[in-house]
Amino acid sequence: MSSTDQSSASQEGEKKLKPCCACPETRKPRDQCIIERGEEHCSKEIAAHKECMRKLGFKV
């Protein structure tokens, strides 16, 4: 398999993962923080979740 084929297969695998199901380990703390403290106090949790989503190939 060429690197182009591998990259294509990787992207197909990522597309099957829906944003709502990605990164539960960062989404839950982010959501909890926003509920309890408000979005303006949760920049660390929001940034961690965005970074996780980007690593999975989502454009945030």
Structure confidence at residue 16 (pLDDT): 81
Flag whether the pTM goes above 0.75.
no
48: Cβ–Cβ under 8 A, 6 or more apart, which residues? 26, 29, 30
Domain residue extents for the chain: 3-55
Angle between helices 43-55 and 24-37 (to 10 degrees): 160
| pLDDT tens column, 5-58 | 444 444 444 458 899 999 999 999 999 999 999 999 999 999 999 999 999 999
Backbone angles phi, psi at 43, to 5 degrees: -60, -35
Structure confidence at residue 15 (pLDDT): 53
Structure confidence at residue 20 (pLDDT): 93
The CATH code of the domain at 3-55 is 1.10.287
